[in-house]
Amino acid sequence: MQTVSNHGKMDWPIFLSVLALAIGSLFHLYTVSFPEQGYYFFRQMIWIAIGMGFLFLFFLFKVSFWEKISYFLYGVIFILLVVVLFKGEGVHAHRWLRIGKISFQPSEFAKLALIFVLAKVLAKEEEVGWRKVIISLCFTFPFLILVAVEPDLGSALLFLPLWLGMLILAGISWKRFFLIVAAGLALFPFSFFTLRPYQKMRILTFLNPARDPLGSGWSVLQSKIALGSGGLMGKGFKGAVHTQLRFLSRPFTDFIFASVGEEWGFIGVVIVLGLYFIIISRTVKISLENGRSFAGLLSGGMAILVFSQVFVNVGMTAGIMPVTGMPLPLISYGGSSTIMFLSGMGILLSLKRRPWRLS
């Protein structure tokens, strides 16, 4: 039996990076908010305050607690995702549930729930065989389908790299892994025909944004213009003209990275990406310290989640990924995504604070 030592009670690089992103998010939302839409700033302040409360609360929990309730959390989120199909709210997609005056997106919390249950299923395996692959897929596939039907294709597809990445962390052989990937690629062309018309158009627009510059290609083209117009230093405080004049679509959520680039330039973009790099690299370090234990796979799953969301959001802003509506963690406006991310960071910090035994 080997015990992993922990240095200190708080992983300060992760915590300070998270804090810097939170403060930067509020500051940027304040500078780009339109006069009649100042509530983006004030509401995000509330979400961050609630999320920070969960961060400090979950920081106190033992790792064993999350392992014990993994299946329960999965079951609760599964039920909520089913309820969304019948009682969900939204303009173009029914993704939100309302309880009283509070509305939230169960699909955001499904990301954490899936990481918990996959870590539980795959932990401490010498080698992941086909039985574990099938069991883990049986947990992943229902979430993927339920979220895709809402529809929220971006979040749904995020479950695939989570599943595949955690299989690698758990020790699946490369032969089995490439067989799974090959099977998925073989089925991919058929899945295209199951997409809704606007989802197909997003993929076609990604391949050629100029085919409809005033329609489906507008968001991507204007995002590139805004991102590139910032230059090295950016246009400065409240100087994001492209954003202010509303040429940039959804500058508070999907394309907030483009507005950051316009206002704060290449330097601002590098700082934001650098903070994410610190979080991801430190999270990978925690995962390596804990090996194939529940804690190791849980922290590894968190690293995959953060990297995937950042990669997809930045990629669609730069035009190298299709537009999927993926939020930039903690930077994009949104209560569910903000609270989910900060809660996950609290759980991650608790893994570093408390020793975990490897068998």
pLDDT for the residue numbered 1: 34
* Mean pLDDT score, 138-161: 87
Evaluate if residue 6 carries a pLDDT over 50. no
pLDDT for the residue numbered 103: 81
Nearest residue to 20 via CA among 230, 301, 268: 268
Condensed to tens digits (0 to 9), the pLDDT of residues 218-273 reads: 677 788 888 878 788 877 777 777 777 677 777 788 888 888 888 888 999 999 99
pLDDT for the residue numbered 150: 79
Q: Which residue has the tokens 């995020």?
A: 158
Give kind and range of the element (H or E) at residue 102: strand 102-104
Whole-structure pTM value:
0.88
Mapping DSSP onto H, E and C, the string for 244-255 reads: HCCCCCCCCCCC
Q: Hey, what amino acid is at 255?
A: F
Q: Give ∠ CA 252-255-257 in degrees, rounded to 5.
A: 95
Nearest residue to 132 via CA among 171, 175, 158, 165: 171
Mean pLDDT computed over every residue of the chain: 83
